[in-house]
Chains A and B, each alone.
Chain A
Amino acid sequence: MTDLAWIDAALVSARPQAVAALLRYFRDLDLAEEAYQDACLRALKNWPKNGPPRDPAAWLIMVGRNAAIDVTRRRAKQTELPDEDQISDLGDVEDAAAQRLDEADYRDDVLRLLFICCHPDLPATQQVALALRIVSGLSVPQIARAFLVGESAMEQRITRAKAKVAGAGVPFEAPNAVDRAERLASVAAMIYLVFNEGYSAADPASDRGSLCDEAIRLARLLLRMYPSEPEIMGLLALMLLQHARIAARFDADGNAVLLEDQDRKIWKRPLIQEGLALIDKAIRLRRPGSYQIQAAIAGLHARAQTAGETDWAEIDALYQALERLTPSPVITLNRAVAVAKLNGPQAALDLIAPLAERLAGYFYFHGARGAFLKELGRNSEAREAFNQAIALANTPAEAAHIRLHLDTLANSVKG
């Protein structure tokens, strides 16, 4: 690896820790970010010359703090901090610095930084944008491209989010166990939002598609800090298992391919293995949760060598567990697909009939209902349901998929 590639990788992986610690020192997001950027510039100059520091995050934190204090012209009043030339070699100074920043501080710092980004006052789109900017360090143009909006609109969105967070006050006290659990849950939800933004992209190689990788990276970071949290294992497993199907989810023309029609040979096995291993670990802890159950469902799909081998009875049972844990008509709708496989389309229709009012504006409800009706040979009702679905489609790919159903209905009438 060249110097620059190595440094780039080290800076990217040290960023959340470094920005988080600098935020604790300065208690100001903008100042923390500037300090981190300053430290990165110095690293680019210094590291090729003096070799990599043993703990890049500790180096960046010290140098960043030093630089920011310098900038604010308060340096003279502070204790002299060592110059980065002195702390770049693998000497005692760095050890001392690393000791001052013990592991527990790091954990709470990074969690605080992630938690700030999912402040309840922020709408979901601002949470995700702020996290990608602050924690992941993506540039505003990169984020704008990922969200398919203009750069100035994204700049505004992030500025507004920062202002709101600053106004709301940042929680700097060390969280107690209850706070920590709540923060973890909000952070997990925010990371899954980032993932779903990427998952909805038709082109996995696009900026938007790369959000999946970023979400997985953030979940790995969280799991490294909280290695015994089954829901974080579940979240990472769920994303890995879904991401494993990425190459099979769209055909050459960019049309969505249904799970049962996907080429399972191009699913990424290493991601599946890791996902299954994490579920295996989580189950042992006997603290079930929504991400673990969703991951277990994805895991059953991943284990099936062909669509015909899918264990629908177990999937039905898992969806029932999910319904009990977090009742939602959308979960019942998903369960209906398993019920249709197990007990036929009529049973599925009966299950979703009570949802008609609540899901009247939901694309997937009409799509699934149309498919069940079509299977029962109730073609004119099916056509009506498919037309409602098309009217509610969010993307051209969704609409195109429903049109395929309508085409086969038209053909069966002709034939």
Chain B
Amino acid sequence: MLYAILCYNDEATVFSWTKEEDAAVMDRLNVVHEKWEAKGKLKPSLRLLPTSAATTLRKKDNEVLDGPYAETKEQLLGFYIIEVDDLEEGLTFARELTAANPGGAYELRPIMLYNSGSPVKAR
């Protein structure tokens, strides 16, 4: 089985950790990461920048909103990881997706830390 684990916490608290507090948490997490990666079971993992860095494309009217996706009517159904020159190119990709699949929204959130993990087995 492939699972995605979504991480929730209060960003005001997490992003006010001191460098030492942050490093201590990351060190503890990395012990777990390494163990599961050695077993070949940890795939890509990543840490996102805070919601202040987010931009949202509302699909129904193609409107770009500054900030995270704040509605609670919809549920998270998937995500993409892209490598683009800038936010504008990211939005271009999201608009092409919108044309293929209208409804809902795409939130573009910069990635702060990316670990590729072990390769996924052919399925």
Stretch at the interface among A125-133, A266-274, A309-317: A266-274
* A277:B66 contact, CB within 8 angstroms: no
Question: At the interface, yes or no: A223 with Cβ under 8 Å from chain B?
Answer: yes
Contact of B52 among A13, A236, A270, A280 (CB under 8 A): A236
Question: At the interface, yes or no: B4 with Cβ under 8 Å from chain A?
Answer: no
Contact of A227 among B12, B19, B52 (CB under 8 A): B52
* A217:B16 contact, CB within 8 angstroms: yes
* A281:B12 contact, CB within 8 angstroms: no
List, in ascending order, chain A residues with CB within 8 A of B52's CB: 220, 223-224, 227, 236, 274, 278
By the criterion of a CB under 8 Å from any partner CB, how many residues of chain B are at the interface? 20
Q: How far is the CB of B48 from chain A (nearest CB, A)?
A: 10
List, in ascending order, chain B residues with CB within 8 A of A228's CB: 65-67
Question: At the interface, yes or no: A9 with Cβ under 8 Å from chain B?
Answer: yes
State which residues 48-84 of B face A: CB under 8 Å: 49-50, 52-53, 55, 64-67
Contact of A273 among B13, B55, B87, B110 (CB under 8 A): B110
List, in ascending order, chain A residues with CB within 8 A of B53's CB: 274, 277-278, 281
* B15:A220 contact, CB within 8 angstroms: yes
A13 to B87, CA, bound (A): 30
Residue of B nearest to A221 (CB): B12
List, in ascending order, chain B residues with CB within 8 A of A12's CB: 16
Question: At the interface, yes or no: B112 with Cβ under 8 Å from chain A?
Answer: yes
Q: How far is the CB of B8 from chain A (nearest CB, A)?
A: 15
How many A-B contacts are there with CB distance less than 8 Å?
51
A379 to B65, CA, bound (A): 57
Contact of A281 among B13, B19, B87, B113 (CB under 8 A): B87
Contact with B along A1-43 (1 / 0, CB 8 A): 0000000010011000000000000000000000000000000
> A interface, how many residues as a size bin?
20 to 34
* A274:B87 contact, CB within 8 angstroms: no
Contact of B67 among A227, A277, A284 (CB under 8 A): A227
Question: At the interface, yes or no: B96 with Cβ under 8 Å from chain A?
Answer: no
Contact with A along B109-122 (1 / 0, CB 8 A): 01011000000000
Contact of B87 among A9, A217, A284 (CB under 8 A): A284
* A284:B88 contact, CB within 8 angstroms: yes
Contact of B110 among A217, A274, A284 (CB under 8 A): A274
Can you pick out 23 interface pairs between chain A and chain B where the beta carbons lie within 8 Å of each other?
A: A13-B12, A13-B16, A217-B16, A220-B12, A220-B52, A270-B112, A273-B49, A274-B49, A274-B50, A274-B52, A274-B53, A274-B110, A274-B112, A277-B49, A277-B53, A278-B52, A278-B53, A280-B86, A281-B66, A281-B87, A284-B64, A284-B87, A284-B88
Known: A224-B52, A270-B112. 13 other contacts (CB 8 A): A9-B16, A12-B16, A13-B13, A220-B12, A220-B52, A227-B52, A274-B52, A278-B53, A280-B86, A281-B66, A281-B87, A284-B64, A284-B88
Which chain A residues have a beta carbon within 8 Å of chain B's beta carbons? 9, 12-13, 213, 217, 220, 223-224, 227-228, 236, 268, 270, 273-274, 277-278, 280-281, 284-285
